[in-house]
Structure 1
């Protein structure tokens, strides 16, 4: 039974992603998502309640998928350099493998932050960033990474890849982001190494 619920919920999220991609969050209705997913009205409201809740759940689901890859890369890392490059590789690999989800995350954050679920989404997102910073903390304390304001690490480590992701996902850059994963990883390491 739990598998059925999980798969129905996932089907609704996949349908929502397709609808949001085609029509935007504002242009999508719950009925469009319901119709595309094949879910009943009761199932839609049981799992989510409204369109904003669906968008927030989709956003969090995408971030959770990315975060799992990121944490796996950190679990395999033996050095600060491995950790920095692993985080960049995780970001690039996730964006390349999930362009629709990545596009949704990059371009819907503002709309989601203004929704009823915005505060919850922001708190969960910050918690995931906190987990990554926890991994880096011993390396920072030991001088294996530059000591910087905590909020700067994300910009310096994934910033260049994130900027290129925006170009690639919008069609302004034609080369798949994955082709440059080592370029971005080297740049991140150069930015934060001591």
Structure 2
């Protein structure tokens, strides 16, 4: 890699790291191009050169955060033999990640339906689908065997991720009193029971 490419990658990393920090400290209202360029010391021109727009930076940060979340969750699930242990592992891994990587989880939950991702919706959805594909592949034979209820994939996703994401969202908001440790004890089996075949 040439020195110019190395400098470019370093600038991209700096902008992404700074953008996450700005979001964590200033929230959605303070997440602006001016705030990120001021905090990073990187010029507007350089930001636009690397990301095309501030929305492009936000989308790139979102995808980096998705990678950071998905890697441990996918690993936790796919090393399990049974559907029950896999679903329970998914729930725990997601909640553990939320606790251990609060800033990343905050950005993911705060940005999921934001206007700045709209222009990149297809790219974001394709990347998320690719990251979660190993879980779908792991789950498929367990549905075929009858270990998991034969439900449409979107409903399975809602049954698993709905309670987990809402719990994480409430914990992150600090508006609701949610005990993440209690949720990690209670939710895995409750969610698993919702997926068991009749």
Same fold per TM (> 0.5)? yes
Q: Residue 118 of structure 2: SS of its match in structure 1?
A: coil
Distance 1:132 1:112 in 2: 28
Distance 1:77 1:6 in 2: 36
TM-score normalized by structure 2? 0.85
Aligned residues: 194
**Residues 117, 26 of structure 1: alpha-carbon distance in 2 compared, 3 angstrom cutoff:** farther
TM-score normalized by structure 1? 0.86
Q: Residue 130 of structure 1: SS of its match in structure 2?
A: helix
How much is the aligned-residue C-alpha RMSD, in angstroms? 2.3
Q: Counterpart in 2 of 1:53? A: 56
Q: Counterpart in 2 of 1:156? A: 159
Q: Residue 144 of structure 1: SS of its match in structure 2?
A: coil
1:136 is the counterpart of 2:136:
no
Q: Could you tell me which of 25, 42, 62 is aligned with 1:39? A: 42
Matches within 5 A, 1:1-194: 5-25=8-28, 27-112=30-115, 115-194=118-197
**Residues 4, 81 of structure 1: alpha-carbon distance in 2 compared, 3 angstrom cutoff:** farther
Unmatched 5+ stretches in structure 1: none
Q: CA deviation at 1:140?
A: 0.6
The C-alpha deviation readout for 1:101-152, integer Å capped at 9, x for no partner, is: 2122112222247632122112222333333211100111111111111111
Unmatched 5+ stretches in structure 2: none
